[in-house]
Amino acid sequence: MSVVQDQDLALLVDTRNKAHLVRVRSGQRFETHHGFIAYDAIIGQPWGSIIPSSLGHPYLVVQPSTADLITHIKRNSQVIFPKDSAYILMRINAKPGARVLESGCGSGGLTLALATAVMPTGHVYSQEIREDFIALARRNMERVGLEQYVTFIHGDSTQGFKVEGKVDAVFLDMPEPETCVSQAREVLKDGGFFGALVPTTNQVVNLLRALERAAFGLIDVEEILIRRYKPVADRLRPQDRMIAHTGFLIFARAVVKPYHLPIGACEANDDEEEAFPGEA
């Protein structure tokens, strides 16, 4: 529907670009230090409308994107940024129909991105040692209506992953992912996708050593940086400051023994003539 309805999730954005994620509830209102907005004034309006607060401050009302939801869910810890989540989805091939395992769940930011990417036919398994984290992440999935695509598993990942059957991809977001590499390989389909995020170079070194010992190949270590500009036509320039580091991303593919591991990522061939050889 292209008009706002009761019980919708909405993003309200003020003129200083501060965004608020709310549930639209008939009869209630959104309170801010710029006055309030009665949700009934929003219901029935087209998405993208500008609604004034009781003190005359304009608010833009839009549907939240997946990136907005990741940014605005309730948190108990740092969520994985949209720039990283987006790239992780691409690199572990989290597409509709995929079965993906993550460990741990954090506040459910990446869980949300994964569930959105693999639905309606895929599924996300999220194993986590802390029950309070699972509780928050599950509540966040319910709020955004994705709970049917996610199974939370309470367990210590160093003891193995309690998922039924093999998965297409595993992503580790935990302090010592090197302790779970062989366990990840066990639940991964042959050729499956492995990913991890760690903040320090020391952790990258430890994880590389574990991957080299286990049956993984095509290992990549990458960082995603985003540079934002002030969107002013007459004075176009980068923002003064930027997020300089969120984490190192490590990707690999599950290989089958006996293997001689190619180190590093595959690169496109300069001469692509042979792509699809034999096809017209």
Among 130, 138, 162, 166, binds a second copy (CB under 8 A): 166
Among 130, 138, 143, 162, binds a second copy (CB under 8 A): 143
Using the rule CB under 8 A, is 47 a contact of a second copy? yes
Least separation in angstroms between CB 219 and a second copy: 5
**For a second copy, the closer CB: 170 or 215:** 215
CA-wise closest residue to 23 among 61, 59, 58, 54: 61
What phi and psi values does residue 44 have, to the nearest 5 degrees? Answer: 95, -15
Among 41, 192, 197, 214, binds a second copy (CB under 8 A): 192
DSSP codes of every residue in 73-129: S--SSPPPPHHHHHHHHHHTT--TT-EEEEE--TTSHHHHHHHHHHTTT-EEEEEES
Using the rule CB under 8 A, is 274 a contact of a second copy? yes
**For a second copy, the closer CB: 159 or 226:** 226
Residue 164 CB: number of other CB atoms within 10 A? Answer: 9
Cβ atoms of residues 82 and 158 within 8 Å? no
Among 26, 58, 148, 156, binds a second copy (CB under 8 A): 58
3 secondary structure, DSSP code: B
Using the rule CB under 8 A, is 237 a contact of a second copy? yes
**For a second copy, the closer CB: 156 or 263:** 263
Between CA 65 and CA 69 the distance in angstroms is 6
CA-wise closest residue to 250 among 173, 179, 180: 173
Using the rule CB under 8 A, is 151 a contact of a second copy? no
CA-wise closest residue to 23 among 9, 39, 5, 37: 9
Using the rule CB under 8 A, is 265 a contact of a second copy? yes
DSSP codes of every residue in 136-154: HHHHHHHHHT-GGGEEEEE
Using the rule CB under 8 A, is 73 a contact of a second copy? yes
**For a second copy, the closer CB: 11 or 180:** 11
Between CA 161 and CA 191 the distance in angstroms is 18
Among 5, 7, 48, 159, binds a second copy (CB under 8 A): 48
Least separation in angstroms between CB 217 and a second copy: 6
Between CA 276 and CA 280 the distance in angstroms is 9
Between CA 109 and CA 144 the distance in angstroms is 11
Least separation in angstroms between CB 41 and a second copy: 14
Pick out residues in 104-123 that bind a second copy (CB under 8 A).
Answer: 113, 116-117, 119-121
Using the rule CB under 8 A, is 135 a contact of a second copy? no
Stretch that binds a second copy, among 124-132, 155-163, 199-207 (CB under 8 A): 199-207
CB hemisphere CA count around 138 (13 angstroms): 13
Stretch that binds a second copy, among 127-135, 155-163, 187-195 (CB under 8 A): 187-195
